[in-house]
Amino acid sequence: MSLTLPENFKEHYRTLSKTKSDDFNNIDIEEFFTYCGLPLRKALRYNTLKYSGTNGKEIFINETKKQKWIIEPVQWCDNGYFIDRKEEAKSIAIGTTIPHVLGGIYLQEASSMMPVTALFHGHENTDFSTMCIGDLAASPGSKSTQIAEKMQGKGILLTNELSSTRLKALYSNLERCGVSNSLLTHYDAENLCNLLPNTFDFLLLDAPCTGEGTVRKNFKALENWSPDDAITMANLQKKLIVSAFTALKNGGELVYSTCTLGDAENRDVVNYLRETFPNQVEIISLENLFDGADKAITHEGYLQIWPQIFDSEGFFVAKIRKNQNQETEQTVMQNILNTQDSKQIEKNLKKFPFQKATRKQEKTITDILHTQWGCTLPRTFELWTRGEKIKEWWAFPKGIEHFVSKIKVDRIGVKIGELHTKGWKTVYEFCSAFGNICTKNTIEITEEQVKKVYAGENLHFENVQKKETKKTTEIMLLYKKFPVAIGKMTITGNNGKWKNQLPRVLLRKLQ
C-alpha cells in the first residue's frame, strides 16, 4: 500500500515553507512528503532495569545475535537501537519473543526516545533518591519505562493517564519492565497538576496531539487532516503546559513533546507558556543533546524532527526550566492554600487503605524476604500493608504520603506478597521487580522451559536436593538471570514438581 497525502496537507506545508522560510532553513518540503510515504525503521530499547549491571549491554547484544536481529545504535539514546531482522526471523512477532515478554526490551520508535534523553541531559550524575519525576500523559508507557531506567528504582515516578483503557496497558508495561517506584494515577493532567503545585523536580508532558509525525507508521493518520484540528488540540495543550509548569518546583525542569509537526501544537504552545510566565520560563537549548542535534534545532533551541532528518517519525521536543519569581511564588502559595484544605487532606489520608509497617512487622517481613529469597529491599522503599485476614505486603517508594493526602492514586510501588494463616506467599510482581536481587531458592531454566511456563504448564525437575526440612518451598525460575515466575516446588525423593503460579493474564504462546 502506498501513501497519498491529502492535498490540503501538502498545500498547507508548501505555503508555510515559503511564508516562514526562516523556520524551514535546509528543509526540503517535497523531501518531507516523500519520507512520509517511506516505511519506518523499527527500534527498541533494551531495559537496563532487567539487563542490569556492567555486562547488561553485552548480554543484550548476545541475545540479539541469537534472535537473528540486526541492530544499529540510535545516536540519542544509550540503550536504543534500530532493529532489522534476518529473513528467517521476520515472521516472528518481536512481542512474542522471550526478551520482550520478560521485560528485557521495549519496542519504541527512535525519535520518541528523544524527550526522555532531553529530560535527563545534564543530570547524568544526579541522585534521584529524594526526587519526584512525573510523566503526565503516559500510556502506553514507553517514556515512563525509559524514565524508570534512569531513576533505577530511586525516588518517585508519578505516571498519569486519562484514558482508563490505556491505563491498563500502562500498568502492564510497568510491571513487565520491573518498574518498582511508580505511582499510577488516572487524572486529567490539568486537574492533577492543579492539585500538586510546586511538587515535581522533573516533568514530562508528552502531550496528546494530532500525530502528523506518525504517518509513516500509520498511513491513516492524516486521512481526515484539517488545520482546525491542530487549533482545537493546541487549546488543550496550552492548558496542560501551564498547569504542568505550576506543578514544577522552582529550579525544576519540564520537557514538552509531541509527535506532530505544525507550529500551532509546538512552538506556539511553548511561546504561550513564555508569555504566561515571562520571568520564570527559561528555555534550555537542545542543540548539544547529541552529535547531529544541530540539524534539527530551531532558533529558539527546540528540536523539530522532520522525518527526513534522522529517517524517523516526526517529533517536537522543548526543554524548559522554571526559575524562581517572588510574585508568582505568592500566587502559587495562594493556590496551594486554596486547593489543599486541611480537612480534605485528613479525609484523604483516612481513606487510604494501607498502613505503614510497625518496626515489629517490618522485621517479620524483612526476615521472610531474607530467609526465602536472600534479598534485602533497597533503602528507598518502605513496607506498607492492607487487609485483615490475609495481609497484603507492599513495597512503596519513600515519600508517598505527600501524594496520597492530596490525590487518589490507582497503584503504588510493588506488591510483594501475602501473609495467610498458613504462611507466606510471594507474588509475581515481586519477581518481576526484585527478582534480580534474589540470591536464594532460584533455579535457572532453559528456553523450552520458559515457553512451558508461559503456556501455563507445571515443570518437573530431577535430582533436586532438598535443602530444608520443608516439603514444599517457593522457587523462582530464572532464564539467563531474568526472573520468569514463582511457584511452589514439592519434592518427593529427588524429584521436584514446580506448580506454576504465573498470573493467567500473562499466559501466551512464545516464539
Ligand X SMILES: C[S@@+](CC[C@H](N)C(=O)[O-])C[C@H]1O[C@@H](n2cnc3c(N)ncnc32)[C@H](O)[C@@H]1O
Q: Least CB distance from residue 206 to ligand X, whole Å?
A: 4
Our CB check for ligand X shows the closer of 186 and 415 to be 186
Cα–Cα dist 313/425, whole Å: 45
Cα–Cα dist 46/99, whole Å: 9
Question: Footprint of ligand X on this chain (CB under 6 A)?
Answer: 112, 136-143, 160-163, 166, 188-189, 206, 208
Q: Least CB distance from residue 260 to ligand X, whole Å?
A: 9
Cα–Cα dist 318/287, whole Å: 11
Our CB check for ligand X shows the closer of 142 and 182 to be 142
Phi, psi (degrees; rounded to nearest 5) at 405: -80, -15
Q: Least CB distance from residue 131 to ligand X, whole Å?
A: 20
Our CB check for ligand X shows the closer of 142 and 298 to be 142
Our CB check for ligand X shows the closer of 177 and 475 to be 177
> Which strand ranges, in their side-by-side order, compose the sheet holding 459-461?
442-444, 472-479, 482-492, 495-500, 459-461
Cα–Cα dist 365/252, whole Å: 37
Q: Where are the beta strands (DSSP E) in 223-270?
A: 248-258
SS (H, E, C) 326-338: HHHHHHHHHHHHH
* Nearest partner of 82 among 66, 91, 94, 96, judged by Cα: 94
Our CB check for ligand X shows the closer of 175 and 206 to be 206
Task: Report CA torsion sign: 184, 186, 189, 191.
Answer: negative
Task: Report CA torsion sign: 121, 123, 127, 131.
Answer: negative
Our CB check for ligand X shows the closer of 160 and 432 to be 160
Q: Least CB distance from residue 207 to ligand X, whole Å?
A: 7
- Verify cis geometry, omega within 30 degrees of 0, for the bond prior to 140: yes
Our CB check for ligand X shows the closer of 102 and 113 to be 113
Q: Whose grid coordinates read 492524516?
A: 222
Phi, psi (degrees; rounded to nearest 5) at 433: -85, -35
Question: Left (φ > 0), alpha (ψ -120 to 50) or beta: where does 223 sit?
Answer: alpha
Q: Which of 132, 177, 259, 431 is catalytic?
A: 259
DSSP secondary structure letter of residue 486? E
State yes or no: is 259 an active-site residue: yes
Residue of minimal CB distance from ligand X?
137
- DSSP β-ladder status, 472-479 and 442-444: parallel
Question: Which residues fall within 8 angstroms of residue 198, CB to CB, at 6 or more apart?
Answer: 246, 247, 248, 249, 250, 332, 336
Burial class of residue 487 in the structure, from the number of CB atoms within 10 Å of its CB (0-12 exposed, 13-18 middle, 19+ buried): buried
* Nearest partner of 43 among 91, 76, 2, judged by Cα: 76
Our CB check for ligand X shows the closer of 143 and 322 to be 143
Active site residues: 259
